Chain A
């Protein structure tokens, strides 16, 4: 008898990665348009360092589409005022620690780009969390910053006006466009973004505020649209939670996975000084994947 796999989605890893890269082009273009040469430097440093790390870790000349995606994602999660060597350090963490220490492609538990972002944020909090610039009356690391006197951005400013934050957060409409491309080509499961957004929206309406918000930026309370569009929510929903290696196998498992990420994101946004918890939410959900797979697959087997 022929050995498995017996069911194939029709997607090859290379095709997945090429379409994902194409879906990130609007974000790259928007970040270059907004931040100019600084964004080019960060993107180039991140992509080249990630590819170089692949060669170092494999000890042979190679080109990995997966590494290209990690490099672009890493750069898009860095703030525009980050220097090129932060991107290089991020690439070393992403590929060296996040990917190869855990056994390489297909074996990693944590999303490499997100892991790099979180560890860099711990190492250099001043770059990731503290205010960067003032645009149209609001300032801060993201539109979610809990600064005294922070103003609620208008609906059009939320989607179209270049805003503060990481490269990807500058133009949410570009992230949304990339997400639509992934959905149209059926590269990602619609459940991930839908349940992630639903969890964020529900908790934005239900969670009681803390001093972090009520005393600083009260417009963050009871404002689902702001929590979905601002910060890293869009990038997380379409590009990070949908990573096939670090997400659960089953459809129901993916729903639980997205809800966990959403809950943790909102707890951090509402009750800690951190402006955005999306990256932490992704890592926690990644850590829970083995447990989710174990219980969800067990329940599927027991019902059939």
Chain B
């Protein structure tokens, strides 16, 4: 998975949750995970297996509504710092974009069988295709 795919999977999960005040906490998670992997050699072997799960648990406790997304962020291997930073930045751009788009999507006109979450996920899927070329940079 590339950072853009990860950011959109997180957003897809996020559409099922009400945003909490602590949502911006999620921004530091990929960067933190990157630094942990960077300092991998300096971490005592006995503690190393617990570092990533520990961060995941801390993130989940501090922001329970975003728990599934926080866990998703811990899966990828980050090769570069920019890759780790791209996920929260993209998330930060697309989240308000989706919020504004959702306010424009008038459920009154949407076919009954796709009102609510389905049409929002379709919009998100379209946005994924728009941002996909950036994964080649």
A35 interface contact, C-beta 8 A: no
In the complex, residue of chain B having the shortest beta-carbon distance to the beta carbon of A104: B109
Q: Enumerate chain A residues within 8 angstroms of B133, measured Cβ to Cβ.
A: 268, 272, 274, 277, 280
Given known contacts A100-B111, A102-B105, A103-B110, A287 and B127 CB-to-CB distance under 8 angstroms: yes
Q: Are B97 and A287 in contact (CB under 8 A)?
A: yes
B60 interface contact, C-beta 8 A: no
Which A residues, 105 to 120, have Cβ-Cβ distances below 8 Å to chain B?
107, 109-110, 115, 118-119
The size bracket of the interface on A is 20 to 34
Q: Are B130 and A101 in contact (CB under 8 A)?
A: no
In the complex, per-residue mask of A7-34: 1 if CB is within 8 Å of any chain B CB, else 0: 0000000000000000000000000000
Which A residues, 70 to 120, have Cβ-Cβ distances below 8 Å to chain B?
97, 100-104, 107, 109-110, 115, 118-119
In the complex, residue of chain A having the shortest beta-carbon distance to the beta carbon of B94: A287
B136 interface contact, C-beta 8 A: yes
Given known contacts A109-B104, A271-B137, A101 and B110 CB-to-CB distance under 8 angstroms: yes
In the complex, per-residue mask of B107-132: 1 if CB is within 8 Å of any chain A CB, else 0: 01111001000010011001101111
- In terms of DSSP, what is the predominant structure of the interface of chain B? helix
A273 interface contact, C-beta 8 A: yes
Residue tally, chain B, CB below 8 Å to A: 26
Which A residues, 30 to 60, have Cβ-Cβ distances below 8 Å to chain B?
none
In the complex, per-residue mask of A279-304: 1 if CB is within 8 Å of any chain B CB, else 0: 01001100111110010000000000
Q: Are B101 and A103 in contact (CB under 8 A)?
A: no
Measured in the bound complex, the distance between the Cα atoms of B100 and A291 in whole Å is 5
Measured in the bound complex, the distance between the Cα atoms of B137 and A267 in whole Å is 9
**Shortest distance in angstroms between B14's beta carbon and chain A's nearest beta carbon?**
17
In the complex, residue of chain B having the shortest beta-carbon distance to the beta carbon of A105: B109
Given known contacts A103-B106, A291-B96, A272 and B136 CB-to-CB distance under 8 angstroms: yes
Q: A272-B137, A273-B136, A283-B130 are in contact. List 20 more A-B contacts (CB 8 A).
A: A101-B111, A101-B114, A101-B119, A101-B122, A102-B109, A102-B110, A103-B106, A103-B109, A103-B110, A268-B134, A274-B133, A280-B130, A280-B133, A283-B129, A287-B123, A287-B127, A288-B97, A290-B101, A294-B100, A294-B103
Residues on B lying within 8 angstroms of A by beta carbon are 96-97, 100-101, 103-106, 108-111, 114, 119, 122-123, 126-127, 129-134, 136-137
Q: List 14 A-B contacts (CB under 8 A).
A: A101-B114, A101-B122, A102-B105, A102-B110, A103-B109, A107-B109, A119-B129, A122-B129, A268-B134, A284-B131, A287-B123, A287-B130, A288-B100, A294-B103
